[in-house]
């Protein structure tokens, strides 16, 4: 061991519980006669002194058999993915860990998933995406903390540079094009010169079109889940990559205004509705397609194979949202119940987008009216009627579609503050029923 202190210093940056577990796993590896390493992004982040407590391990030997042993020893839940020679463990205290087999990957065809064969740790590191991610720390007791950096990862971290490991990297796996942007933006690193050239070449060659929908979707949404997606989107535009979402998707001045307004809209929303959980990446995708035609949006949904929920969100971005925006920012014309009915079918994501779009209203008064309307709507969402369908039945109303109408009227009256008690509701139902009977006579 050449630098024993530096070695332990790196691992000592981990939380005590993880460090303890990794020490024990190193001992278990010795018992089994295999070498085990902490690998990839978590090691990169230890070197960068950034928090990342993903426990990604790789085993020189049978990783799945070793994962089974660890799971047995610690009572951890285990999911095995034979095809990728990896396993995921969930420990009783909530810790998660991935264990893989060190491997070599060969790409039968560009952009398709690779064939996987067992290999040494050095080979395993050299099939990775960037030098900064091709780093590992050994965990076996006698080499505990030994850093493996065969591709110059530390040098590039110091130089704040992203560099691919070989000329065919983007061709083998075009998801790395998006990963490049992700790390470039996250760390504020620059791309090494050859990497820039290879990336531009790969981007111009339509390789991304060969990626499956779920793989492309995953990369795009991961990129939009980063801290500053606005810059990432500008970078996608600059590198002419948006066309892989749809060839007619363009970053016009209007679209840009909406995208740029999204972080502010999030901030307002989170402050106002702290319990609302927003799918942030999808909101950026909605903003990006906010000026696209329904046909383009539908094609994007198909290309990315979005889930029903995501697709529903994306489909809300068009004219309906614009019409709603116009209607509810028309001063003084909508009653609270009308506002509720206008907005109830929009998801929270769509309402955040509505707010982002409204930044273009260029009228401070209308923008603050919209905020007041959204705040009022948020409050009215919690309003409930005291009576239910069962009560209507007890009051002699035959089950049927009028239940929905009557309960809807009760809710509207409550929201508008016209009634406030159960007795008021009963009186209103009776009025409705007699009106109904009179209309039948
Ligand atoms: P994050 O910090 O966003 O989690 P990460 O670097 O940990 O990023 P993961 O996607 O969790 O990235 O992958 C873990 C490691 O696996 C990476 O650090 C890299 O070494 C390797 N890896 C992941 N995806 C690829 C890829 N497409 N090509 C080559 N190596 C990859």
Mean pLDDT throughout 248-276? 94
What is the per-residue pLDDT for 360?
Answer: 74
pLDDT digits (tens, 9 = 90+) for 406-430: 899 999 999 998 999 999 999 998 8
Q: Name the average pLDDT for the chain.
A: 91
CA 40 to ligand 1 center in whole angstroms: 6
The number of beta carbons lying within 10 Å of the beta carbon of residue 204 is 10
Token pair listed for 399: 């089950």
Query: Which residue among 40, 124, 153, 189 has the greatest number of ligand 1 atoms within 8 angstroms of its CB, and so is best to mutate?
Result: 40
DSSP 138: E
Q: Is the CB of 128 under 6 A from ligand 1?
A: yes
What is the per-residue pLDDT for 5?
Answer: 47
CA 433 from centroid of its chain's CA atoms: 49
The number of beta carbons lying within 10 Å of the beta carbon of residue 343 is 20
Mean pLDDT throughout 56-78? 96
* Global confidence as pTM: 0.89
Question: Residue 69 pLDDT more than 50?
Answer: yes
- Rounded Cα distance between 118 and 34, Å, is 13
Question: Residue 266 pLDDT more than 90?
Answer: yes
Mean pLDDT throughout 182-199? 96
Output the residue whose Cα is nearest ligand 1's atom 17: 40
Token pair listed for 414: 């409550």
Binned at pLDDT 50, 70 and 90, residue 328 comes out as confident
Nearest atom in ligand 1 to 45's CA: 2
Of all residues in the chain, the percent with pLDDT exceeding 90 is 68
- Rounded Cα distance between 33 and 65, Å, is 12
Q: Is the CB of 173 under 6 A from ligand 1?
A: yes
- Rounded Cα distance between 249 and 216, Å, is 16
Q: Is the CB of 54 under 6 A from ligand 1?
A: yes
Binned at pLDDT 50, 70 and 90, residue 221 comes out as very high
The string of DSSP codes covering 370-436 is HHHHHHHHHHHTT---S--HHHHHHTTPPSSTHHHHHHHHHHHHHHTTS--SHHHHHHHHHHHHHHH
Mean pLDDT throughout 379-404? 87
**Residue bearing tokens 């949006």:** 297
Specify the range with the lowest mean pLDDT, choosing from 33-47, 106-120, 170-184, 224-238: 106-120
Q: Is the CB of 26 under 6 A from ligand 1?
A: no
The more confidently predicted of residues 191 and 105 is 191
- Taking a C-beta distance cutoff of 8 angstroms, is the pair 294, 315 a contact? yes
Mean pLDDT throughout 183-209? 94
pLDDT digits (tens, 9 = 90+) for 296-314: 999 999 999 999 999 999 9
CA 347 to ligand 1 center in whole angstroms: 32
Question: Residue 440 pLDDT more than 70?
Answer: no
What is the per-residue pLDDT for 362?
Answer: 66
Q: Is the CB of 257 under 6 A from ligand 1?
A: no
Output the residue whose Cα is nearest ligand 1's atom 9: 41
Question: Residue 180 pLDDT more than 50?
Answer: yes
Output the residue whose Cα is nearest ligand 1's atom 24: 129
Q: Is the CB of 52 under 6 A from ligand 1?
A: yes
- Rounded Cα distance between 441 and 436, Å, is 9
Interhelix angle 213-224/294-304, nearest 10 degrees: 110
- Taking a C-beta distance cutoff of 8 angstroms, is the pair 44, 179 a contact? no
Q: Is the CB of 56 under 6 A from ligand 1?
A: yes
What is the per-residue pLDDT for 7?
Answer: 65
Nearest atom in ligand 1 to 56's CA: 14
Q: 96: Cβ–Cβ under 8 A, 6 or more apart, which residues?
A: 54, 55, 88, 89, 90
Query: How deeply is 200 buried, as exposed, middle or buried, from its count of CB atoms within 10 A (0-12, 13-18, 19+)?
Result: middle
Q: Beta strand pairing status for 86-90 and 96-101? A: antiparallel
Q: Is the CB of 114 under 6 A from ligand 1?
A: no
- Rounded Cα distance between 424 and 78, Å, is 57
CA 39 to ligand 1 center in whole angstroms: 9
Q: Is the CB of 40 under 6 A from ligand 1?
A: yes
pLDDT digits (tens, 9 = 90+) for 99-157: 999 988 887 777 777 777 878 999 999 999 999 999 999 999 999 999 999 999 999 99
Mean pLDDT throughout 241-262? 93
- Rounded Cα distance between 276 and 251, Å, is 29
CA 222 to ligand 1 center in whole angstroms: 12
Q: Is the CB of 175 under 6 A from ligand 1?
A: yes
């Amino acid at each position: 061991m050449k630098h024993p202190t530096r070695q332990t210093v790196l691992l000592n940056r981990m939380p005590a519980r993880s460090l303890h577990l990794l020490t024990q796993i190193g001992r278990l590896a010795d018992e089994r006669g295999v070498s085990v390493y902490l690998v990839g992004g978590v090691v990169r982040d230890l070197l960068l002194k950034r928090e990342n407590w993903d426990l990604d391990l790789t085993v020189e030997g049978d990783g799945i058999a070793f994962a089974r042993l660890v799971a047995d020893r610690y009572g951890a839940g285990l999911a095995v993915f034979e095809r990728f020679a990896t396993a995921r463990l969930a420990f009783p205290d909530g810790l998660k860990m991935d264990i893989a087999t060190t491997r070599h990957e060969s790409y039968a065809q560009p952009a398709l998933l690779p064939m996987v064969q067992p290999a040494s740790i050095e080979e395993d590191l050299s099939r990775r995406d960037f030098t900064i991610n091709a780093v590992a720390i050994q965990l076996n007791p006698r080499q505990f903390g030994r850093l493996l950096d065969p591709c110059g990862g530390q040098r590039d971290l110091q130089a704040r540079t992203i560099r691919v490991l070989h000329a065919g990297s983007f061709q083998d796996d075009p998801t790395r094009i998006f990963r490049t942007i992700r790390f470039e933006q996250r760390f504020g690193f620059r791309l090494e010169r050859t990497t820039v050239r290879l990336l531009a070449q790969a981007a111009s060659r339509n390789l991304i079109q060969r990626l499956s929908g779920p793989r492309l979707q995953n990369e795009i949404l991961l990129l939009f889940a980063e801290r500053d997606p606005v810059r990432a989107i500008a970078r996608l535009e600059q590198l002419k990559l948006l066309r892989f979402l749809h060839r007619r998707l363009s970053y016009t001045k209007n679209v840009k205004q909406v995208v740029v307004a999204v972080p502010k809209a999030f901030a307002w929303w989170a402050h106002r509705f702290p319990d609302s959980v927003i799918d942030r990446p999808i909101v950026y995708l909605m903003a990006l397609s906010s000026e696209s035609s329904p046909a383009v949006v539908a094609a994007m949904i198909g290309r990315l194979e979005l889930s029903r929920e995501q697709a529903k969100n994306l489909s809300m971005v068009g004219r309906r949202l614009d019409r709603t925006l116009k209607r509810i920012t028309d001063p003084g014309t909508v009653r609270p119940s009308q506002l509720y009915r206008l907005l109830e079918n929009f998801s929270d994501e769509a309402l955040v987008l509505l707010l982002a779009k409204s930044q273009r209203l260029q009228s401070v008064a209308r923008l603050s009216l919209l905020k007041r309307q959204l705040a009022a709507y948020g409050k009215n969402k919690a309003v409930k009627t005291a009576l239910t369908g069962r009560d209507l039945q007890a009051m002699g109303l035959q089950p049927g579609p009028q239940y929905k109408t009557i309960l809807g009227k009760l809710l509207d009256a409550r929201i508008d503050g016209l009634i406030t008690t159960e007795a008021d509701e009963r009186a209103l139902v009776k009025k409705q029923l007699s009106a109904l009977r009179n209309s039948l006579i």
